Amino acid sequence: MRIFKGAVLSSLTAAVLTLPLLGGPAWGAEDGKAIYERANCVGCHKWHGGGGGGYGGAALSLRDTHMDRDQLIEVVRCGRPGTRMPFHDKNAWSTVQCYGVDAKAGSAEAAPQAAEFLTASEIATVADYVMGNLKGKGKPDRADCVAFWGEGAKQCLTYK
């Protein structure tokens, strides 16, 4: 019994110590949605990811994007130079390479800085949220609205 407890404790310790190497905890769709809101993606891309006019100009549609997961991660990490899309990785353009440009050659002025930085796990989670819940979904409908805002939300009254 003592050997069994020791083996279990060793396994748990190894799992906890390995967690940061694996990118942190597993995140779900609700986590991705929460990060999407907290990072103010909704400010430009809207709740439905369709983009359009916003404070930062006309944001691209995440529903129509052709980017894959890795490209989305890089855009969230590094922002989009020449646009209002901010970088969310505190090390982007300083110690982290962006778009194949050596970090030392890059500039923080290449893209605006986000109001709040995200961890690598959070960036991956929001990219997973976009890939699983927005990309390729067509026009938003009532079901999409309810999934985002909840049943009975006033934002969903325009959808029949």
pLDDT on residue 54:
62
pLDDT single digits (tens) 70-99:
999 999 999 998 888 999 999 988 887 888
Q: Where are the domains of the chain?
A: 27-156
* Distance, CA of 105 to CA of 43 (rounded, Å): 30
pLDDT score, position 96: 78
Helices (H) and strands (E) in the chain, counts: 6, 0
Mean pLDDT of the chain: 82
**Burial code of 88-113, b = ≥16 C-beta within 10 A, e = fewer?**
bbeebbeeebbeeeeeeebeeebbbe
| Topology given in CATH for the domain delimited by 27-156 | Cytochrome Bc1 Complex; Chain D, domain 2 (1.10.760)
Long-range contacts of 42-47 (CB under 8 A, 24+ apart): 44/84, 44/85, 47/145, 47/148, 47/149, 47/155
Q: pLDDT at position 22, please?
A: 44
pLDDT digits (tens, 9 = 90+) for 102-141: 766 655 567 888 999 999 999 999 999 999 999 999 999 9
